[in-house]
Amino acid sequence: MNENHYTNAKYNYHENLKILRKLVNELMDFQSARIATEHRIRSLNQKYSDMIPQHKDCMYKEILEGEEGFTEEEKKLKQEIEDYAKDTRLWNEWCIDVKGLGLYSCGLIVGLLEPYWARMIVKQTVKNNSKPIEKTLYPFASRSALLKICGHALNKNGMSVGKYRNVKGLRGNPKIKAYFWRIGKNLVMAKGIYYELFKIINEKTKKDYSKYLMRHYGVETREEAKKKYPHVKYIASTLDITRKKFTKLFISHIWEEFQRIYKLPITSPQHNPSIEYNNQKGISISDEQWIHPLRDNDEQSRNNLEQYRRFLNENQVMPEK
């Protein structure tokens, strides 16, 4: 779709973006309500296991009808999101060329994130204030800023702020984080070029796993780490680390694509200062150390992927941001 389509007076891209954002927010609300209903059903099964059957059936009927209503509404909203996603620039200029990144996933990404680049004015409710106020959204100045809202921030020590590290201001939006986990899973299952990237990251992670455990736990195997630190709720496996690195890299690609679409500067990412470079800040990752947004059936993307693979095989440290 050419540039003239988006500047045509008959096609108001900004208004359609507002509608898409509203649809995505409504979908999130319906999904939250459905999940709460499912939890309620499980709770009732435990609490009223010996309840009179007629009363129990009546109660379940009301709850299940509500759950079915949420599910049907979700289906309608997903279809509307896909319809609006067809005319977005992200779809026509990138997602359409990526296996596993369908209309629904693209619609979620655009509805959640593009309003920031579009500098959309939105209404937000503030605590202790009954009236919503207007707020202008602004583009994310860096990859790190986008990763933060997606729940992948790093603290001042270069450590990931995960589920069990409740650091104020760094937790991000858990719903957005969950969506990107699912989108990342779809990319891997589609077995396109991003699946190839996932395998490269996983291979490197397996090689470096003993170093990871030694750095964080002082041992070389996961079993030893569990014995040494029984109070630690969960010790990440190689697959956990790969998924996280892959998702963060994909989110970084989304940032690059929106920067390109809105003709904003695309700066080089920086190394994790606390791990790779002894707390030295501001060391940028060079092009041969980084991989840019990929497209299936694209020779340049394939060359970039192979260059990234060679770099990781030749070096001890995987660039991460």
Instruction: Tally the domains of the chain.
Output: 2
* pLDDT of res. 49: 57
312/273 same-domain check: yes
* pLDDT of res. 66: 56
6/34 same-domain check: yes
- pLDDT digit string (tens) for 184-200? 999 999 999 999 999 99
52/179 same-domain check: no
What type of residue sits at position 125? Answer: T
Q: Which domain-ending residue is among 113, 138, 163?
A: 138
Q: Does the pLDDT of residue 166 top 70, yes or no?
A: no
37/102 same-domain check: yes
164/312 same-domain check: yes
Q: Which domain-ending residue is among 84, 105, 138?
A: 138
Give the residue numbers spanning the domain of 201. Answer: 140-321
Q: How confident is the model at residue 132 (pLDDT cuts 50, 70, 90)?
A: confident
115/167 same-domain check: no
68/175 same-domain check: no
67/172 same-domain check: no
188/173 same-domain check: yes
66/48 same-domain check: yes
Per DSSP, what are the bridge partners of residue 124?
133
Q: How confident is the model at residue 63 (pLDDT cuts 50, 70, 90)?
A: low
57/93 same-domain check: yes
Q: Which domain-ending residue is among 88, 123, 138?
A: 138
- Average confidence (pLDDT) over 142-161: 74
From the list 270, 266, 259, the residue with the least C-alpha distance to 321 is 270
202/318 same-domain check: yes
- Tokens at residue 187, please? 């990319």
- pLDDT digit string (tens) for 82-103? 999 999 999 999 999 999 999 9
Q: Is the pTM of this model over 0.75?
A: yes
SS3 per residue for 174-232: HHHHHHHHHHHHHHHHHCCHHHHHHHHHHHHHHHHHHHHHHHHHCCCCHHHHHHHCCCC
What's the length of the chain?
A: 321
* Residue with the larger pLDDT of the pair 241 and 158: 241
Place of tokens 């540039």: 3
